[in-house]
Amino acid sequence: MALNSAIPSGPIDMKWTDYKANAPLINPANKRKFSVIVVGSGLAGGSAAATLSELGYQVKCFCYQDSPRRAHSIAAQGGINAAKNYQNDGDSVWRLFYDTIKGGDFRSREANVHRLAEVSTNIIDQCVAQGVPFAREYGGLLANRSFGGAQVSRTFYARGQTGQQLLIGCYQALEKEVARGGVQMYPRTEMMDLVKVNGHAKGIIVRNLQTGKIERHSADCVILASGGYGNVFYLSTNAMGCNVMAAFRAYKQGAYFANPCYTQIHPTCIPVSGDYQSKLTLMSESLRNDGRIWVPKSADIAAKLREGTMRAADVRDEDRDYYLERKYPSFGNLAPRDISSRSAKEACDEGRGVAKTGLGVYLDFRDSIERLGADTIKARYGNLFTMYEKISGEDPYSMPMKIYPAVHYTMGGLWVDYNLMSNVPGLHVLGEANFSDHGANRLGASALMQGLADGYFVIPSTLPSYLVNETPGSISTDMPEFKEAEEKVTERLDGLMKVGEKGKRTVDSFHRELGLLTWDKCGMSRSKEGLEEAIDKIPQIREEFHENVRIPGSAGALNMELEKAYRVQDFIDFAEMTCHDALNREESCGGHFREEYQFTEDDPEVQSGFTNPGEAKRRDEEFMYAAAWEDKGPGNKPELHKEDLNYEFVKPSVRSYK
């Protein structure tokens, strides 16, 4: 099927305006006849559900957590970008657009990104009106900071918990609509499958996690805002419950999955300390504003540090390698996430890593404490330092922090057009669950922006384009499609429980095995051999899973092992597809680094000093496209569909942060 991205014509800064001016409208009396299913209640899903309900649609919103307020958007620390230019430092919609395009390594869609930059300013207005307590100056006006390598201060923040505050605002708007009767909320409810009627997404089958009951829900369209797939790696900064099932089930139903290989590895997480570990904790990137990242110059010293025969504070300056400052003098410790992460891995691969496992680098505040005083540092990062101390048991005021990259965000997702609709008519995808705005790498403070842009401002304007051709209320859960879908779900669960009764290995042990393999072969750097090996091994994991997974209890009640089991079941299949994507993309860009494609001494860009050997090498001629994968059934390689990315307004360049 040809991919039609439905991008409006016209100049980039008029596309969205023109679109809105010409998009079909549904009159208020008719809106309330339409029903909408929203899966997920984070920033994207919650804001969409609340806003669509305000507009008059009947909304049903589902989340697996016990309350919509707990969606993982809540964990975002740093901030949210907006092109307000309150700081008068030369910011503009264009600049935010350009930075996002460049940050995404020229693998995102211009029109979507420009729209994102345009509505960014409305988001801040909306959130402030809801009572989101953004940081303020003494004059009472909003404060901004520079974040994630941006050269302007456009990030709005709420201490270290911007995500939580934005989500509370969104959740309160949602609860307001729940009280008004516009939204029916289904917490502790998980989408098990998508239901299509005549090829259109018209409903979902869910499992009530509390009772185990399987239920059918129909609507005139379905919106997925179910987040990313970072937990395919087992260890990530995602919440334990985050999973790809909703999006993956849509993929199984014919929706294309785009660019799954683009995964963001966040450079500043607390290193792994043992194999019992269940998740990784992110330390806000803002720490890089004052912390200096280093490893010892020699592997010998690193070995002593690992064994504990030497203390980090005793390493002499001339023995330290502040590698980011050395390699990227103008950005230094603030180099973008993908670049910082990869540099840390390189240093550790050379045997210069610290922490017991050898997988860690130092983030050192010694110099800034000397320069600004411990009090200033405490005022800026006190809560983060406390958090670090609680987890690691070490005092970061006297000993440098140890950090290591970890999976954090996934740029890939279900393919959507300009309307945020997938290739399955009626199925719309918002937030991290879609692929649209971040290209191959996401800039700091842009995830919150995208989630809210999609939910508050984009989908309310684009949804009528689909609905206007539909007859409201024409779908009923008594239709055979629903019955069939429900039976399939029940069959799947019965199958799992049957294996689970006799199986020997815990779900977690499979997840851990899959995660280690995926991290090793499809993590921070990938190679053809490695990916082929993973594609070979994943079916073995799947096979053993289907023979030997242990699932106690029953499917007809709260059963957290069963929940984990069906999520991991999909992660296994998903990992395979991701490896195919990574194997297909024979270039390095953003969060996808193929060892075969990096700059060497032979490249003119290196000779001219523009970039360093070892930096990611894009191949625009061959790979300037979004790779959208179509499911071809179990055991078969998915089929690739390409959406060519046409850069009409920005000229792609080598992304240099030197």
Partner 1 sequence: MNLKLKVWRQAHADDRGTIVDYDAKDIPEEASFLEMIDIVNEQIIEDGGEPIHFDHDCREGICGMCSLNINGVPHSKERGITTCQVHMRKFNDGDTIWIEPFRAKAFPVVKDLVVDRSAFDRIIAAGGYVEVRTGSAVDANSVPIPKDKADAAFDAAACIGCGACVASCKNASAMLFTGAKAAHLNLLPQGEPEKDKRVLAMVRQMDAEGFGNCTNQYECEAACPKEISADVISKLNRDYAIASAREAVS
Nearest distance, CB of residue 536 and partner 1, angstroms: 28
Looking at the Cβ atoms of 325 and 394, the one nearer to partner 1 is 394
Looking at the Cβ atoms of 265 and 387, the one nearer to partner 1 is 387
3-state secondary structure of 596: coil
Produce one character per residue of 501-536: b if its CB has 16 or more CB atoms within 10 Å, e if not.
eebeebbeebbbbbbebbbebbbbbbbeebbeebbe
Catalytic residue among 69, 337, 542, 594: 337
Looking at the Cβ atoms of 171 and 404, the one nearer to partner 1 is 171
Place of tokens 């990992």: 575
The Cβ of residue 547 has, within 10 Å, a number of other Cβ atoms equal to 12
Looking at the Cβ atoms of 184 and 612, the one nearer to partner 1 is 184
* Burial (0-12, 13-18, 19+ Cβ within 10 Å), 11: exposed
The per-residue DSSP string of 328-369 comes to: -TTTGGG--HHHHHHHHHHHIIIII--STTS--EEEE-HHHH
Looking at the Cβ atoms of 183 and 535, the one nearer to partner 1 is 183
Pairing of strands 505-506, 427-429: unpaired
Nearest distance, CB of residue 373 and partner 1, angstroms: 22
Looking at the Cβ atoms of 130 and 598, the one nearer to partner 1 is 130
The number of residues in the chain equals 658
Produce one character per residue of 79-97: b if its CB has 16 or more CB atoms within 10 Å, e if not.
bbbbbbbbeeeebebbbbb
Looking at the Cβ atoms of 328 and 457, the one nearer to partner 1 is 457
Nearest distance, CB of residue 274 and partner 1, angstroms: 5
The per-residue DSSP string of 421-434 comes to: B-SSTTEEE-GGGB
Nearest distance, CB of residue 36 and partner 1, angstroms: 15
DSSP state of 396: T
Nearest distance, CB of residue 114 and partner 1, angstroms: 19
Angstrom distance (rounded) from CA 412 to CA 597: 20
Quick one: CA torsion of 256, 260, 261, 262, rounded to 10 degrees? 120
Angstrom distance (rounded) from CA 499 to CA 565: 11
Nearest distance, CB of residue 97 and partner 1, angstroms: 20
Nearest distance, CB of residue 507 and partner 1, angstroms: 9
Bridge partner list, 185: 61
Place of tokens 């000397």: 370
Q: Is 249 a catalytic residue?
A: no
Chain center to CA of 549: 29
Catalytic residues: 337
